Each structure stands twice: as structure tokens, then as C-alpha cells.
């Protein structure tokens, strides 16, 4: 156990190192950028924070195993190259800044929403160890979105707020069905993803290989980080399986994905002919892992491919702009 904790500390360092390198990496330009970040749980949201759908909080690579989601599990695809600002039809903030971990599924939900609505945003990559980029904030998780001076926290609250800004004449939010599946993403889907990313030694290595080749490491740091981080997360993923009563992580993953496809009931999207907030949430958390082994397996072994491709088309290119 002591050895695992040592590796965890190493992983924590890794997380901090690579977090800042994401924006400029070649991987980001190619459209795939898995990253690691780290989180522990158990802390409460400050009252400032607004509602939280899950109670996750605080960084560490080895999470306390009571509840929550380790950001270490976060993998991200920085979807596409930065593009010129494009206006959303009804909402064009002068300045939107997303404080994030590139790999965080909650951050990726928000990005999928912004991309879908062509809302231009800048990204500030937060160092998960010292979080110096969000020192100014009482809320210590990501995502935090600053829109023209207004701070928004918690991915679902952010999306609700943005939705209202984009649809000022139709503030009625999601249908019961949409709400149900948005909750399912936060309460179930993200927890199934985590043990899959580090399921086997080779998958853990695949993940960390990618992370470390695009982070800001010296040669020796990279080697240590790659093997140490992969080993640590391999062990953590086994604990997460137990915590969430998962016996076969791939089977659980496929089952979740099939459950989602069933929910579509033959519709193009849950929202019908265009994606609703549940479609965007599911897509947002899946996008980071799509090109890892687990994502490739997902497409080969479930019926999600057609919906996923439709979503890629609908969400389109990233509306992220250079900071």
C-alpha cells in the first residue's frame, strides 16, 4: 500500500506537470489530447459554489475511496484547432474564460455546449496541484466559467445558465427525460468510465504514454511519470471498481452505452432532430476517451457509433480561441 501511495504522489506531480502543457501540444492540434489531473473528494462546496451534482472535490491522485470522481481519470480530446470567433445567434459574450483541466469530463461537458453553440471561449489550464490559476476563487474545483465578469461554477449549473442566456425568450429548461439523462451522466456514466481507462497495464500505459509525451517533462521525468503514473492509476482503478460495485468494467461500460442508445428510441438525438442538453452531456464526457482503447472498443462493441458521429457533426469544431 505504501508503494501505491508513493506512486500516487508521483502521479500527483505528473498531473501538475502535464496540465499546463495541453493547450500547445501537437496532440491538441491533432484533435486528441488525453490528460491526467487529480482529485480527491469529500470536501464540501463552499456556499459560494452553487449546487453540485456530485460532491466531488479536492485534488489527489489516490482519492479517498468513499465517493466522488478522481480527476486523474480525466481524459480529454481537445477537439479541434483553435478557430476564429464565431457568434452564437443570440449570445456573444465579450469575454468567456473557462478554467479547466483539459481532461476533466465536467469541463468537457461545458466545452461541448460552448462548441455546439459557437460561443467563443478562452481556456486557462489549471495546475491541479497548486491551483494557482484559480487562487482568486473560493470554489476550488473546475470547471469555472467567467463570462463578462460573472463567475459560474459546476458544469450543470453553468450549462443551465448559458442555456438561459442563449434562449432568453424560452427560459423553460430541459424536459423530464432530458433532466433524467443529464443526472445519469453525472451519477453513473462518469463512474463507469474511470475504471475503463486504466483497466489493464497496457491501457494504463497507453494513457500515460500519451499524457507524458505531450506534457512538459524532461526525458527522465517523462519516463518516471509514465510508468509510475500508469502503475498508480492501474491500482486506483481497481479500487474504484469496488467502490462502484463494478465487476467487469468493460461490460459495465458497454451496458451503460447501450442503455443510452436504447434511450434514444431510434431518434437521431435524444432531443429529436437536434441534440438536447443530455446529448451534449453524454458526448462531452465520451469525447475525451474516444481515441483510447476503451473508446475504440466502445465503438466496435456497441451501437453508439452512429449517434456519436452525428454528435461530432452537430457539435462541430471547437469554438475555443487563443487566450
Binding site for ligand GSH (CB under 6 A): 39, 52-54, 56-59, 69, 71, 74, 101, 104, 106, 128, 140-143, 154-156
State phi, psi for 157 to the nearest 5 degrees. Answer: -65, -40
What are the residues whose beta carbons fall under 8 Å from the beta carbon of 208, sequence distance 6 or more? 14, 36, 225, 226, 227, 229, 230, 233
How many of the other CB atoms lie within 10 Å of CB of 86? 14
Calculated CA dihedral for residues 267, 75, 33, 207, nearest 10 degrees: -120
Q: How far apart are CA 93 and CA 262, in angstroms?
A: 37
Q: Which is nearer to ligand GSH, 139 or 208 (CB)?
A: 139
Nearest-CA neighbor of 61 among 206, 228, 182, 253?
Answer: 228
User: Of 56, 74, 91, 107, which residue is the catalytic one?
Assistant: 107
Helix (H) or strand (E) holding 147: strand 144-147
Q: Which is nearer to ligand GSH, 140 or 226 (CB)?
A: 140
Residue 55 CB, nearest approach to ligand GSH (Å)? 7
Q: Which is nearer to ligand GSH, 71 or 112 (CB)?
A: 71
Residue 46 CB, nearest approach to ligand GSH (Å)? 12
User: Of 18, 41, 75, 106, which residue is the catalytic one?
Assistant: 106
User: Of 18, 91, 99, 101, which residue is the catalytic one?
Assistant: 101
C-alpha cell at 98: 473557462
Q: Which is nearer to ligand GSH, 22 or 264 (CB)?
A: 22
Residue 101 CB, nearest approach to ligand GSH (Å)? 6
Residue 157 CB, nearest approach to ligand GSH (Å)? 8
> DSSP state, 317?
S
Residue 155 CB, nearest approach to ligand GSH (Å)? 3
User: Of 69, 104, 113, 217, which residue is the catalytic one?
Assistant: 104
Residue 57 CB, nearest approach to ligand GSH (Å)? 5
The order of strands in the sheet holding 144-147 is 122-125, 96-100, 144-147, 150-153
Contact, 42 vs 67, CB < 8 A?
Answer: yes
Task: Answer yes or no: 227 catalytic.
Answer: no
Residue 242 CB, nearest approach to ligand GSH (Å)? 20
Q: How far apart are CA 232 and CA 166, in angstroms?
A: 43
Partners of 320 in beta bridges: 121
Helices within 55-200 (DSSP H only): 105-116, 155-166, 176-184, 190-197
Task: Answer yes or no: 116 catalytic.
Answer: no
Residues across the chain: 323
Q: Which is nearer to ligand GSH, 67 or 83 (CB)?
A: 67
Task: Answer yes or no: 74 catalytic.
Answer: no
Nearest-CA neighbor of 193 among 246, 141, 144, 231?
Answer: 246
Q: Which is nearer to ligand GSH, 52 or 302 (CB)?
A: 52
Q: Which is nearer to ligand GSH, 294 or 302 (CB)?
A: 294
Task: Answer yes or no: 104 catalytic.
Answer: yes
Q: Which positions are annotated as active-site residues?
A: 101, 104, 106-107
Amino acid at each position: 500500500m505504501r508503494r501505491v501511495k508513493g506512486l500516487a504522489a508521483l502521479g500527483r506531480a505528473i498531473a501538475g506537470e502535464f496540465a499546463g502543457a495541453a493547450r500547445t501540444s501537437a496532440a491538441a492540434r491533432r484533435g486528441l489530447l488525453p490528460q491526467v489531473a487529480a482529485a480527491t473528494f469529500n470536501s464540501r462546496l463552499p456556499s459560494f459554489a452553487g449546487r453540485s451534482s456530485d460532491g466531488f472535490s479536492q485534488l489527489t491522485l489516490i482519492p479517498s475511496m468513499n465517493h466522488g470522481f478522481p480527476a486523474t481519470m480525466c481524459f480529454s480530446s481537445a477537439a479541434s484547432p483553435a478557430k476564429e470567433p464565431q457568434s452564437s445567434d443570440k449570445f456573444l459574450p465579450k469575454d468567456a474564460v473557462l478554467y479547466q483541466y483539459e481532461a476533466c469530463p465536467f469541463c468537457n461537458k461545458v466545452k461541448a455546449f460552448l462548441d455546439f453553440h459557437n460561443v467563443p471561449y478562452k481556456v486557462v489550464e489549471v495546475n491541479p496541484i497548486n491551483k494557482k490559476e484559480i487562487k482568486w476563487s473560493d470554489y476550488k474545483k473546475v470547471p469555472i466559467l467567467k463570462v463578462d465578469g460573472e463567475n459560474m461554477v459546476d458544469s450543470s449549473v453553468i450549462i443551465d445558465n448559458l442555456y438561459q442566456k442563449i434562449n432568453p425568450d424560452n427560459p423553460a429548461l430541459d424536459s423530464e427525460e432530458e433532466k433524467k439523462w443529464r443526472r445519469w451522466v453525472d451519477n453513473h456514466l462518469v463512474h463507469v468510465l474511470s475504471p475503463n481507462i486504466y483497466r489493464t497495464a497496457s491501457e494504463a500505459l497507453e494513457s500515460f504514454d500519451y499524457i507524458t509525451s505531450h506534457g512538459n517533462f524532461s526525458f527522465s521525468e517523462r519516463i518516471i511519470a509514465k510508468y509510475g503514473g500508469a502503475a498508480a492509476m492501474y491500482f486506483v482503478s481497481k479500487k474504484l471498481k469496488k467502490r462502484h460495485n463494478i465487476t467487469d468494467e468493460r461490460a459495465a461500460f458497454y451496458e451503460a452505452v447501450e442503455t443510452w442508445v436504447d434511450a434514444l428510441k431510434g431518434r437521431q438525438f435524444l432531443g429529436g432532430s437536434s441534440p438536447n442538453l443530455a446529448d451534449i452531456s453524454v458526448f462531452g464526457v465520451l469525447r475525451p476517451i474516444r481515441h483510447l482503447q476503451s473508446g475504440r472498443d466502445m465503438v466496435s462493441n456497441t451501437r453508439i457509433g452512429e449517434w456519436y458521429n452525428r454528435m461530432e457533426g452537430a457539435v462541430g469544431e471547437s469554438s475555443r480561441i487563443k487566450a
